[in-house]
Amino acid sequence: MFKNNEDTHKSDKIETIIGPSVKVEGDFAGDGDVIVEGIVIGTLKTKNHLRVGDEAKVQAEISAASAFIAGDVNGNITIEEDLELKSTAKIHGDITCSKISIEKGATINGKISMNGQKKESINNSVIEK
Amino acid sequence: MYLYIYDVFLNDKKYFNLLNKIENRLADLEIKGKICRLNLLKNMSEAIDDGIKQGVNTVVAIGNDSTFGKVVNAVADRDITLGIIPIDGESKIAEILGVPAEEKACDILAQRLVKKIDLGKINKQYFIDSASIDDNNVSLNFEKYQISPVGKTMISICNLGFLSGNDSIYQKKISIPTDGWLEAVVTPLKSGFFGKKGDRAPSVFPFKKILVESKGDPVTVTIDQQTIFKTPVEITVAPKKLKVIVGGERLF
């Protein structure tokens, strides 16, 4: 299912999987790792790693310890540590994180703040490595 | 002290020789105890209550999955260790617990490897393995969010998931009956020549309490392939609720 993605994060146990067969509405909060391949509307919080697959549609405010995003996100993203955006990622919202990795082809419509300080402002642009 | 409860159907004389063999094996292993044969006038809860008054601390149910489903509900709220002796090789609950059929089960009882496992609770009834929801027209309401299936899916609420119809749930240890959580598992289905088959990875939501509601007419919820409920139902986890004697071949 996830063979086309290259998330380097490793975990002993995946806690929650929001697959393409479900739609989640409301304030989702989890303590463990979360994988999203379906639809999420509302807020999405986890104290651990978040992975948004390339077919996922997220209309939510996101906060997580770390994240790998390859799908569509419409909402602000707050990541405590590393954020990795794959080429298929489409972000409409502001990003706050400590470290960021952006693959060629990813699109970001919003501001990026590193460690709480605004380093870059990007509007309707395509990021290249 | 052991209490052996024989289910009603074992009163048929065709089981006489088999029960004799079991009783002889229990005597050999020095774990004989009080025997209670259920009948139309004596139910399981009464038998267990009487046994507790006489000092029973281990109840052994002899019968099939229907028997074990009833005895789980009868002992879950009592400080009792449960053992089972399956009367044929078809018991799924026995397979989960790693208990072989007939006399061989006596050896497992004698070894007395006791595990505390979680139970699921639907309305006021406990289940040991899973609850299956046979219709997609439902919503699963968690504390602050709800999920709705998209397309054709199979929905299971799992403590272990062996009876859920999706073998990967227990094989991949998606649901573990000792972790204090239940899992709502939504598996996409694909129709084909050989029937319905899951073709994509399932969605998995660990939880302690959910409300299952129908978006239309009430929907059937079946627990452990036996008892049927209609929506709406509340499902909760009862952590470490059952003390049960298990074998080395158990599935968890």
- Contact flag B144-A29 (C-beta cutoff 8 Å): yes
Query: Residue A6 domain-assigned?
Result: no
Distance CA A98, CA A83 (A): 8
Q: What is the pLDDT of residue B112?
A: 93
Q: Tally the domains of chain A.
A: 1
Distance CA A48, CA A25 (A): 20
- Give A22's strand partners: B149
Name the phi and psi angles at B61, rounded to 5: -95, 130
State percent of chain A over pLDDT 90. Answer: 73
pLDDT above 70 for A6: no
Provide the ipTM: 0.80
Query: Residue A45 domain-assigned?
Result: yes
pLDDT above 90 for A118: no
pLDDT above 50 for A119: no
A48-85 pLDDT, tens per residue? 999 999 999 999 999 999 999 999 999 999 999 999 99
- Contact flag A22-B186 (C-beta cutoff 8 Å): yes
SS3 A80: coil
Q: Between these two residues, B88 and A17, which has the higher pLDDT value? A: A17
| pTM summary value | 0.84
pLDDT mean over B83-94: 90
Query: Residue A67 domain-assigned?
Result: yes
pLDDT mean over B203-218: 92
- Contact flag A24-B145 (C-beta cutoff 8 Å): yes
pLDDT above 70 for B76: yes
pLDDT above 70 for B158: yes
A25-56 pLDDT, tens per residue? 999 998 889 999 999 999 999 999 999 999 99
State percent of chain B over pLDDT 70. Answer: 96
| Alpha carbon distances (Å) from B83 to A3, A27, B61, B65, B179 | 44, 42, 6, 13, 21
Query: Residue A5 domain-assigned?
Result: no
The pair of three-digit structure tokens given for residue A12, joined into one six-digit string: 């002993």
The beta-carbon neighbor of B144 closest among A16, A21, A26 is: A26
B-chain residues near A26 (CB < 8 A)? 142, 144-146
Any idea which of B26-30, B97-101, B151-155, B180-184 has the lowest mean pLDDT? B151-155
Q: What is the pLDDT of residue B252?
A: 85
| Alpha carbon distances (Å) from A17 to A64, A71, A101, B120, B222 | 15, 15, 24, 21, 24
pLDDT mean over B228-243: 93
What is the nearest CA distance from B34 to chain A, expressed in angstroms?
45
Distance CA A26, CA A49 (A): 20
Q: Between these two residues, B194 and A80, which has the higher pLDDT value? A: A80
Residue A22 belongs to domain spanning: 14-128
- Give yes or no for a contact between A21 and B200, defined as CB atoms under 8 angstroms apart: yes
- Contact flag A27-B188 (C-beta cutoff 8 Å): no
Distance CA B131, CA B122 (A): 9
pLDDT above 60 for B199: no
Q: What is the pLDDT of residue B167?
A: 76
